[in-house]
């Protein structure tokens, strides 16, 4: 798939809409995917979610080796713990937008130190599920 946007989601995001809706909102991951596809317009979107660190790393490798124009990634809990995800993202030489549904800096201290931010082109946090569409539109602008 040429010039596609890869939207990669980490652990527990498949539970959106049911998991702590007072924190993460009522929007489901399927609804997030629809928002991403609409915001992407005519650009193809590869939209994925996994609860497994190694699978997320494999998908980053696939985006790196393929024709992905950019990555929007919500690594979820792996944001704060995964050196393998960080190392995989370091190999991607196109735009990366790190995304968080909540403002991680207003949460408990364990959520304040993102490993991914150091390699991300941009970070979006705290806009809720609508942050995904913002990320897609921003990535499209970066790509020209």
Instruction: Give me the catalytic one of 100, 105, 111, 132.
Output: 100
Q: Is 87 marked as a binding-site residue? A: yes
Nearest to 32 by CA among 139, 132, 143, 136: 132
The third-level CATH classification (topology) of the domain covering 4-67+82-143 is: Rossmann fold (3.40.50)
**Residue 111 bears catalytic tag:** no
List the one residue out of 119, 118, 122 whose CA is nearest residue 136.
Answer: 122
3-class DSSP assignment, residue 76: helix
Supply the pLDDT for residue 110.
81
pLDDT in tens, 58-110: 999 999 999 899 999 999 999 999 999 999 999 999 999 999 999 988 888 88
Summarised one tens digit per residue, pLDDT across range 111-136 is 788 999 999 999 999 999 999 999 99
Q: Is the dihedral of CA 10, 98, 104, 102 positive or negative?
A: negative
Give the pLDDT of residue 94. Answer: 97
More confident residue, 13 or 109: 13
């Amino acid at each position: 798939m040429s010039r596609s946007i890869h939207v990669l989601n980490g652990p527990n995001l498949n539970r959106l809409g049911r998991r702590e809706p007072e924190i993460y909102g009522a929007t489901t991951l399927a609804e997030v995917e629809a928002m991403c596809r609409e915001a992407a317009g005519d650009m193809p979107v590869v939209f994925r979610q996994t609860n497994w660190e190694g699978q997320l790393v494999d998908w980053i490798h696939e985006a790196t080796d393929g024709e992905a124009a950019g990555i929007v990634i919500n690594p979820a809990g792996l944001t704060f713990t995964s050196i393998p995800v960080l190392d995989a993202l370091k190999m991607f030489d196109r735009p990366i937008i790190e995304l968080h549904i909540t403002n991680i800096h207003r949460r408990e201290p364990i959520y304040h130190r993102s490993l991914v931010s150091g390699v991300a082109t941009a970070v979006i946090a705290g806009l809720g599920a609508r942050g995904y569409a913002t990320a897609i539109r921003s990535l499209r602008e970066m790509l020209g």
